[in-house]
Amino acid sequence: MTEQKILIRGLETNYKIIGDEKTSLPTTRQVLILHGWGGSSDSWVKIQKILAAQNYKVISPDFPGFGKSKTPAKPWDLDDYTKWLVDFIKFLKLKKISIIAHSFGGRVVVKFAAGYPKKINKLILCSPAGIKIKPDFKWRTALYFNSVGDAVFSLKPLKVFKNAARNLFYVFLRRTDYVKAKGVMRETMKKVLREDLSPCFSKINAETLIIWGKKDKMIPVKYSSAFKNNIEGSKLEILPRVGHSPHLENPEKLLEIITNFLRPR
């Protein structure tokens, strides 16, 4: 495995590549992995190595603002990340590649797949983000107390505690990604979350596999049907006893499903 840096859309982009770089493998043996929010290519190393051992060339970049890639100077929206992906694929001269995308990576690739359908061979979405999640009772209750808290912590003597209180609020909601995001990336996260990608689903024509953890608390498994029912011909695999990150929680089972799907029919 080698790690390289290239300039994409004016930003230094870090990526890992493993496989025989000298041999020209068919497009069916080339795989691109896109990590989730707060992650990086590091979290997919085990998957990369095993796929490479099965004669796949695997490329895994760090999205701008994550891992070893540079952070944009100003907040990005989903269109910015999609354009970055287009340029990354073009720079590496990847043609009709198979893509594995997790969570936020799924959000980016759904928009990419809808706009550039001929660029994808097979698509694997692992716990993908991209749809508006209806607030449950816990969310509604917490949001009510958050609005009250905003008023309370706006009082001059308590203003100094406002950010800390807000962070505790998001921890309570298990939205620690927001707590960890700082500066430009926090504003980027707000922009990215505003967009509902449901209208893109019907435009995806690549052979698609959706993988979801039954115990996913970040994006509950009930939302898998929105992807399955609207991406024509897609297949759904639900993993019991697995949460939001199957590549970390049960990589062996995930690999079994992935390799079976990628295998030429």
Whether 174 contacts 199, CB under 8 Å: no
* Same domain, residue pair 200 and 92: yes
* Same domain, residue pair 236 and 181: no
* Same domain, residue pair 105 and 225: yes
Sign of the CA dihedral running 142, 244, 211, 8: positive
* Same domain, residue pair 212 and 96: yes
| Model pTM score | 0.84
* Same domain, residue pair 116 and 142: no
* Dist CA 144 CA 159 (whole Å): 19
**Among the listed residues 240, 250, 235, the one whose alpha carbon sits nearest the alpha carbon of residue 215:** 240
Angle at 118 between CA 129 and CA 4, to 5 degrees: 70
* Same domain, residue pair 28 and 71: yes
pLDDT digits (tens, 9 = 90+) for 40-51: 999 999 999 999
pLDDT digits (tens, 9 = 90+) for 100-112: 999 999 999 999 9
Residue 65's domain is classified under what CATH number?
Answer: 3.40.50.1820
Categorize the per-residue pLDDT at 22 as very low, low, confident or very high, splitting at 50, 70 and 90: low
* Same domain, residue pair 113 and 164: no
pLDDT at 157 over 70: no
Q: Domain span at residue 217?
A: 2-132+196-262
* Same domain, residue pair 119 and 202: yes
* Same domain, residue pair 128 and 144: no
* Same domain, residue pair 14 and 91: yes
- When pLDDT is averaged across residues 70-77 and rounded to a whole number, the result is 96
